[in-house]
Chain A
């Protein structure tokens, strides 16, 4: 990645989370998301908790350090539930978090598990009232006979307290497991998608939603594909896309009809016959779809690659980047150890010039679209000295392994980076390993 000063270098900034190797399942990070200014960074985990980090005011004494992220708020968003009708446990794992654009002093985010979406308000309290007429300072009620005067309570400063309160609960609208939520640019509505249906909600109304996509076949035996991700266009409030397990993306226009089963555009790349294999279907399933910030492109992630699509061209992507092509010959083993089902996410940087996604062995990959360059970096405790520059990594696919290269067989497939996020304006990235959150920033020259 060449900036004005040459190649971009990434430095370690912080790591959050426990150090021990014994990972509690509840601590496994399941989603990471910056808010619209990048000041707040939210993570969700398998235990149903949301942790929000806030970027502190920049340290004027050390200008080469960008501000650090510190814990701002932690709350339990979802609890495990039980569906008595189906005798099914509903996991509390947070599948997605999406921030709402800020309109007043409080921050709002949507968090969802498999079945229920919740709107959380995060607000600060730094003053408290003092001087009640009827109550003592400790809350005990005064003896009315002792009250001789009347006064107005005053607000006095207190230590900052950040409160999270659930403002809306959007429940009972999904038969299948929710995989995506996306806030509309109209600031009023949002969509939620499960395996077979997409619903449109109004942020104010919890007791009803509109079903806008339904791909459930009349006979379930004829099911051939499911919805894997969905997102609203960042600028056009009538447009959204959803990806499928067959590797297709459909763009829908809500103005066309109430039920958007008929797509406006279908994005599909014909399969390369020479790459056909027994597991072709699994690896072509799209695990994530993200619009670029400017709304002209969208990016999809399947098991082995990242593809950039121009919204005006449906028959093939404009760019394809191989994330870890060396795994193509390992698909059988990856099927046996379940890794082939891993759902990797992807993200754009602020000006849509670079895209990033995760891989195995705690590697993550960046692709510079303009420079046609790619880089592999590693999130590890070994490279976590303050401001330590990350050295690019290389995987040796076969043949003679050079020094500093890692052979494919040495990769740790238990160490996977599924969730990454890029600050909307700055070169700060958040990368989630199994239970740690790494924050890297580019080296300010």
Chain B
């Protein structure tokens, strides 16, 4: 994945996250109080967007290399019918996933950029619950509340490993704030 598409994915994930957070905060002032169902759905979307955001940031930093280095990525079927710009439309990973051969990655960024984005998002699976991300603890994105000090137990701050950009749905700085959404009830 090129740095440009990672940036686009990054930007889209940020946008979705920003939209979601503003919805969450707006719902606090809604008449009738916080709606549990709506908050649950919002937090699911936010979780996915956050994971994609962090994945794409890592990829941005690490993956200047050609796509062949991403052998370890688990992917799903390519989204063929992206009619509108919807960069975050990405297939979820089944538990036993197939490895996408590097040859499927488009060579040029021009050819069906939507498809490319879709492929990239395949690579950034949000459902790797079991993998802890050992990424660099980047500065908190500006749209997140400043709760940087709280780390997940066991998470260490150290430099990103020089391996392929692993798609991890591991805990991140924002994890706690998301997990706190529901218990607010």
Contacts and interface: CB of A to CB of B under 8 A. Distances in A.
Interface in A58-109: 86, 88-91, 93
A331 B86 contact: yes
Given A329-B83, A341-B41, A278 B90 contact: yes
B37 to A, nearest CB: 5
Nearest to B47: A281
A276 B91 contact: yes
Interface in A316-336: 329-333, 335-336
A276 B31 contact: no
A338 B41 CA distance: 12
Given A282-B44, A333-B84, A226 B94 contact: no
Contact of B179 (A195, A221, A331): A221
Contact of A335 (B19, B84, B91): B19
A220 B36 CA distance: 11
Interface string B106-130: 0000000000000001000000000
Given A86-B33, A89-B31, A177-B32, A331 B41 contact: no
A89 B41 contact: no
Contact of B32 (A88, A221, A225, A333): A88
Nearest to A224: B40
Interface stretch (B58-66, B74-82, B131-139, B145-153): B74-82
Nearest to B185: A220
A165 interface: no
A341 B40 CA distance: 12
Contacts of A336: 19
Contacts of B185: 176, 220
A332 B117 CA distance: 15
B83 A221 contact: no
Contacts of B16: 278, 332, 335
B182 A220 contact: yes
Contacts of B179: 221
A21 B179 CA distance: 42
Contacts of B79: 277
Interface string B37-80: 11011001100110000000000000000000000000011010
Interface residues of B, number: 36
A279 interface: yes
Contacts of A333: 84
B35 interface: yes
Given A220-B183, A341-B41, A226 B36 contact: yes
Contacts of A88: 32-33
A359 interface: no
A64 B81 CA distance: 49
B11 to A, nearest CB: 13
B4 interface: no
B81 A223 contact: no
B88 A226 contact: no
A411 B168 CA distance: 39
A91 B31 contact: yes
Nearest to A281: B44
Given A226-B40, A278-B45, A329 B81 contact: yes
Contact of A276 (B49, B82, B92): B92
The residue in A114, A331, A335 that gathers the most chain B C-beta atoms within 10 A of its C-beta is A335
A195 B77 contact: no
Contacts of B33: 86, 88-90
A425 interface: no
A114 B38 contact: no
A329 B92 contact: no
A442 to B, nearest CB: 36
Nearest to A220: B183
Contact of B182 (A86, A93, A223, A279): A223
A336 B88 CA distance: 13
A245 B183 contact: no
Interface in A195-225: 195-196, 219-221, 223-225
A331 B89 contact: yes
Given A89-B32, A220-B183, A333-B84, A245 B37 contact: yes
A273 interface: yes
B139 to A, nearest CB: 25
A73 to B, nearest CB: 26
A245 B41 contact: yes
Interface in A277-313: 277-282, 285
A341 B38 contact: yes
A278 B32 contact: no
B86 to A, nearest CB: 5
A417 to B, nearest CB: 21
Contacts of A277: 79, 86, 89-91
By Cβ-Cβ distance, the 10 closest A-B pairs, closest first, are A91-B32, A88-B33, A276-B91, A220-B183, A329-B83, A278-B88, A195-B36, A276-B92, A277-B89, A332-B86
9 contacts: A88-B32, A90-B32, A93-B32, A196-B36, A221-B180, A245-B40, A277-B79, A282-B41, A285-B41
